[in-house]
Each structure stands twice: as structure tokens, then as C-alpha cells.
């Protein structure tokens, strides 16, 4: 890298040298006014050289820093000098890189702030609905409905359902908070997927019967152990099976299927022939509080956080949620996990 001072000195010296040589060759004896003119010309030359070398680029650096201070990044690219140069060019490049970094940080902060406001708004909305319902039913009971046994029984059951919904929401919000704080810890160890699936299927048989949905288990007996956090994978299966039953129709079917695939992986699928999902909604399924059918989701007691939690659990297992669906024909939610290598 050339010395900036040396470049300025050489250029000024060069300009002076040219003038002196020209005067000597001409054999001219300069009068006083000539000397003054020479000084003026030399000064002007020095000013032009230094202005070209320093002032323009210093002004560019100053203006860019002022622009960054105002969080105005519209013309930031003008500071990106492509050619290699001296120390001042390196300084301007640092100013440019700083501006790019600040712009990225500002965009990230704006994204986080937008997410925070949206998240708080969604939480507030989700809390208000069951709270207002509980309050309304309780006020109706206190206003005289307690004397009507049929109304009393119905309203108490509705209060209980809304209280359970609040409890589910609080539990899922706690889970999301742990995820956000990096406290989603996994205990990776070999376990039998078949046993976990059997436990999940058995726990949902009463719900499936109440919905007139057939719930089946298609996991092979000889499936090798898989590596992962047993309880977290159970949580994933619980959420997916729960959704498959709730968003099905009377007489529908739900199957938990697992099969060994190449690369020592086990592919797990929860298959249903329920209401299905529109293609434009599939990409948003794992967003917090996103619901395809808001009214039906709330009536089923969903919090809108389940699939977001599933996504994070699978991500911690280096896996991801795969979704295939067709409206009116059902859905398939799947993921893959590695098998445990046999020793020996």
C-alpha cells in the first residue's frame, strides 16, 4: 500500500519541477510579479493535487458517516470503492463495511421488533377469548342460571374446557420461552420407536373413538432402535396424531407408519384422510399461532403453537417436518431419524 503522504509530495514536487525546468530552458529572469505568479501557480497545483487525493475522499467518508448516523442507507453503495488504493481508500472501505453492518443489524432489530409486537398481539388475543368466555359463563350462572340444573351443567363444562385451553396455552408458551432462551435440551440415546408409538396410539384411542376415527399403528416389529430424545419425539408424535384426529371426519382413518430407508434412516409418517390443507397454507403451518381454520382450531382447544414446537424439536434432531396434503383427501406429516449403529 502506497504512502498517502508520499504520493502527495511526489505529485507536488513533480509539478514544481516541471515549472522550474520550463523556466530555465527558456532562460527567463523572473521579475517579482513573476515569482508571485509562480507561487500562486505552485500553490494552486498543490491545492488541486491534495484536493484530488484527500479532500474529495475525506468528504465522501464524512458524508457517509453522517448518513450512517441518520440510519439512512439509501446511497451507501456509492462508498464502495472497487479499486485498490492508499490508506484513505482503506479507511473509506472500513466506513462502507461499517455501514453495511449497521444496516444489517437495523434490519434484524426491525424484524425482531415486528415479531415481538406480533407475538404479544397474538398472545393477548389468545388469552382474551377463553377469559371472556369463562367470565361470561360465570356471570350467567351467578345471575340465576345456577338454579337450572341443565344450564348449570352445560356452563360448568364450558368453563372447564376454556380453563383447560388456558392451561394448554400457558404450557405451550412456557415451551416457546425455553426454546427462545436456548433451553431446549435434548438427551440423545437409543430407544424403541415401536414402544413410543404404541404408547401414543393407546393414549389417543378414547379421543379417536369419540370422533369416530380409526387409529392404527403400522410400525414394524423388527424396526431397529433410533437415536434421539425419547420424550421429545413422543411430544412430536403426540402433537401430530392429535391434529390428525381432530381435523378428520367421522369414519376417517389415521395411521402411524414407519419404515427403514437408505442411509440408515427411519421415516415416520402420520397419515390421515381428513379435511386436508390448501397448498398456500402448507408453508405457514409451523408459524407461531398460525391456523388454517381459526374457528375450528379454537373449538378444538388448539393453541396454534404445537407445530412451531414440533419444528424446533425436529431441528434439534437435525431433521425437519415434511408435509403433503390435498384438500378433502387428507394429509401426511413426516420426519426422519437415524438408526443406532450396531456395535461389533
Where do the domains of the chain lie, and which CATH numbers do they carry? 189-338 (3.30.565.10)
Within 10 angstroms of residue 141's Cβ, the number of other Cβ atoms is: 17
Q: What is the mean pLDDT of residues 174-197?
A: 84
Q: What is the mean pLDDT of residues 187-213?
A: 93
Residue 344: predicted pLDDT: 42
Q: Residue 1 — very low, low, confident or very high, per pLDDT cuts 50/70/90? A: very low
- Out of 5-9, 132-136, 300-304, the most confident range is 132-136
**Could you tell me if residue 269 is left (phi over 0), alpha (psi between -120 and 50 degrees) or otherwise beta?**
beta
What's the CA gap between 234 and 215, in Å, rounded? 16
pLDDT over 60 at 343, yes or no = no
Residue 314: predicted pLDDT: 92
Element (H or E) spanning 226, and its range? strand 226-228
Q: Provide the percentage of residues in the chain whose pLDDT is more than 90.
A: 28
Helix axes 149-180, 87-142, angle to 10 degrees: 160
Q: Which residue has the higher pLDDT, 152 or 10?
A: 152
pLDDT over 80 at 88, yes or no = no
Residue 251: predicted pLDDT: 92
Long-range contacts, stretch 312-320, CB < 8 angstroms, 24+ apart: 312/179, 312/184, 313/184, 313/229, 313/232, 313/233, 313/235, 313/236, 314/236, 316/184, 316/186, 316/229, 316/232, 317/186, 317/228, 317/229, 317/232, 317/233
What's the CA gap between 56 and 54, in Å, rounded? 6
Residue 46: predicted pLDDT: 65
Q: Provide the percentage of residues in the chain whose pLDDT is more than 70.
A: 74
pLDDT over 60 at 9, yes or no = no
Give the tens place of pLDDT for each residue, 106-143: 888 887 677 667 667 767 766 777 788 888 888 888 88
pLDDT over 80 at 266, yes or no = yes
The residue to which cell 490508506 is assigned: 87
Amino acid at each position: 500500500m502506497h504512502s498517502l503522504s508520499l504520493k502527495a509530495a511526489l505529485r507536488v514536487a513533480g509539478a514544481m519541477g516541471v515549472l522550474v525546468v520550463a523556466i530555465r530552458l527558456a532562460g527567463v529572469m523572473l521579475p517579482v510579479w513573476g515569482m508571485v505568479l509562480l507561487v500562486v501557480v505552485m500553490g494552486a497545483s498543490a491545492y488541486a493535487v491534495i484536493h484530488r487525493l484527500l479532500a474529495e475522499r475525506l468528504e465522501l467518508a464524512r458524508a457517509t458517516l453522517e448518513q450512517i448516523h441518520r440510519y439512512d442507507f439509501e446511497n451507501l453503495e456509492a462508498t464502495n470503492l472497487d479499486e485498490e488504493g492508499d490508506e484513505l481508500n482503506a479507511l473509506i472501505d472500513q466506513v462502507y463495511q461499517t455501514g453495511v453492518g449497521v444496516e444489517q443489524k437495523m434490519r434484524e432489530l426491525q424484524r425482531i421488533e415486528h415479531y415481538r409486537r406480533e407475538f404479544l398481539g397474538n398472545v393477548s388475543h389468545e388469552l382474551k377469548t377463553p377469559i371472556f368466555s369463562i367470565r361470561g359463563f360465570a356471570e350467567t350462572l351467578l345471575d340465576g342460571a345456577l338454579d337450572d340444573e341443565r344450564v348449570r351443567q352445560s356452563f360448568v363444562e364450558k368453563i372447564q374446557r376454556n380453563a383447560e385451553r388456558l392451561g394448554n396455552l400457558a404450557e405451550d408458551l412456557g415451551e416457546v420461552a425455553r426454546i427462545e432462551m436456548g433451553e431446549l435440551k435434548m438427551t440423545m440415546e437409543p430407544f424403541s420407536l415401536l414402544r413410543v408409538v404404541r404408547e401414543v396410539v393407546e393414549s389417543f384411542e378414547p379421543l379417536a373413538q369419540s370422533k369416530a376415527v380409526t387409529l392404527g399403528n403400522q410400525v414394524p416389529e423388527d424396526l431397529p432402535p433410533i437415536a434421539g430424545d425419547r420424550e421429545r419425539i413422543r411430544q412430536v408424535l403426540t402433537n401430530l396424531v392429535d391434529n390428525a384426529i381432530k381435523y378428520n371426519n367421522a369414519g376417517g382413518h389415521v395411521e402411524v407408519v414407519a419404515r427403514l430407508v437408505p442411509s440408515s434412516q427411519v421415516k415416520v409418517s402420520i397419515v390421515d384422510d381428513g379435511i386436508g390443507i390448501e397448498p398456500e397454507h402448507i408453508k405457514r403451518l409451523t408459524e407461531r399461532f398460525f391456523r388454517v381454520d381459526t374457528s375450528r382450531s379454537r373449538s378444538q382447544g388448539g393453541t396454534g403453537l404445537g407445530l412451531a414446537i414440533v419444528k424446533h424439536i425436529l431441528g434439534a434432531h437435525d431433521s425437519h417436518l415434511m408435509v403433503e396434503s390435498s384438500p378433502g383427501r387428507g394429509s401426511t406429516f413426516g420426519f426422519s431419524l437415524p438408526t443406532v449403529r450396531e456395535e461389533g
